[in-house]
Amino acid sequence: MELRPWREAPERDGVLLMAPHELSAGRRAEVLRSARWSWVHLTSAGADFIDLAEWPADTLLTRSWRCYAAPLAEYALHAVLTHEWRRGAPWQERDTRSAPAPDAPPVPAGASTGGGTGLWGAEVTVAGWGAVGQRLATVLDALGARVTVLRRSPAPGSPFHQTSDLGRALDADHLVVALPLTAGTRHLFDRAALGRARPGLHLVNVSRAAIVDQDALTELCAAGRLFATLDVTDPEPLPTGHPLRSLPTVRLSPHVAWRSRDSDAAFADDFATIWATLAAADSSAAPDPSATADSSADPHSSHAPGISHAPGISDVSAPGVPVPAVPAPGAPAPGAPVPAVSAPGAPAPAAPAPSAPMPDARALDAVIPGLVPPTTGRRARAAVRALLTPGRS
């Protein structure tokens, strides 16, 4: 099996790896239109680059759902801790009895945190219960913060207080935005909501700028009423002279929270886990008449499929850079350790042996990690099976 540039992909049933944020909207559309992909996997965690209304439901769309959780949680933790420990500058007070450090942000009147410092007992809302939110909540909890989780549908049995009430979410010392950008979350934190936030709230956004009304946030930070640490802004980068760049209540970073020591391997891990899930699915459990009919009628069906990559993903496809290995028969369940990686061009192992039948295609889709609804994995499962067939490249 090999990784090929997208232009060399078969016209149908190809698997595309795409770094959507590195392509212009026009280029993305061109790549997506160029073939009838059975599966498109994004190197991003967000699927907001894709117009789902126009997306063919039988083309599986998956995202890198897990690999950014650790760095994003770490970034948010750093932001929260930095804010806590800069406010009131306790080190200067203790060591020199001097005034607060000149760059310490002002504490607004009415801020509930008073002179207290540190995470122990601090109230932190984590907005979003995806991989990022879950990891962050666990770390904050370990440090003694009182964590509230904002999500659409709070579930019973969570160790954390959960809410879908925006007002409750904004009544905190810190709010970390780790939500996906969707029609439902665009400007979720609008002017009215931010205006009702607890005075002194520190908003950390590691997700997408458009989830927050940036103009309203800027005004409230300029008034010293709110604080912000923003890894994402609109636009990116902000123009020189934008007020957010100079406010003492705001800290900015240029969309770098995803970085980690080995992001290529982490990305490959996510992809390989989805691959393993698709490969493990029993073909007889999810008959796909359209796929069968299609492939027999397909003039290109003898064309060996491969994994294609869009231009932005050249880092993953460079010679010598590992590509996720095809899982062996009895591939691991989602979340299980992924087998070692193999070099491009390595011989494809045998197709997985049929496993115990699973109920139906929808149940199979439900176990595909990173699946972006409402897409379905039926054609993708068929494509992965074809790629695993001995003799195929």
Ligand X SMILES: NC(=O)c1ccc[n+]([C@@H]2O[C@H](COP(=O)([O-])OP(=O)(O)OC[C@H]3O[C@@H](n4cnc5c(N)ncnc54)[C@H](OP(=O)(O)O)[C@@H]3O)[C@@H](O)[C@H]2O)c1
Question: Can you give the binding site for ligand X, defined by CB under 6 A?
Answer: 45-46, 65, 68, 72, 128-133, 150-153, 178-182, 184-185, 188, 206-208, 231-232, 255, 257-258
Residue nearer to ligand X on the CB measure, 46 or 306 = 46
Residue nearer to ligand X on the CB measure, 229 or 308 = 229
Quote the tokens at residue 286. Answer: 């999810």
Quote the tokens at residue 52. Answer: 């789902």
Please identify the residue of the shown chain whose CB is closest to the bound ligand X: 130
Kindly state the smallest distance separating residue 255's Cβ from ligand X, in Å: 5
State the DSSP string of 73-141.
HHHHHHHHHHHHHHTT-HHHHHHH--PPPTTSPPPPTT-TTTT--SSTT-EEEEE--SHHHHHHHHHHH
Residue nearer to ligand X on the CB measure, 185 or 317 = 185
Active-site pick, 21, 191, 255, 385: 255
Residue nearer to ligand X on the CB measure, 10 or 20 = 20
Q: Which amino acid would we find at residue 383?
A: A
Note if 255 is an active site residue.
yes
- Strands 3-5 vs 250-252: parallel, antiparallel or unpaired: unpaired
Note if 74 is an active site residue.
no
Active-site pick, 8, 152, 236, 245: 236
Active-site pick, 86, 151, 198, 208: 208
Chain-centre distance for alpha carbon 271: 13
Note if 236 is an active site residue.
yes
Is there a cis peptide before residue 374, judged by omega within 30 degrees of 0? yes
Kindly state the smallest distance separating residue 188's Cβ from ligand X, in Å: 6
Kindly state the smallest distance separating residue 237's Cβ from ligand X, in Å: 14
Quote the tokens at residue 343. Answer: 């070099």
Kindly state the smallest distance separating residue 208's Cβ from ligand X, in Å: 5
Q: What 3-state DSSP class applies to 16?
A: strand
Quote the tokens at residue 191. Answer: 């002017």
Q: Please, are residues 273 and 64 in contact by the beta-carbon 8 Å criterion?
A: no
Which residue numbers are catalytic? 208, 236, 255
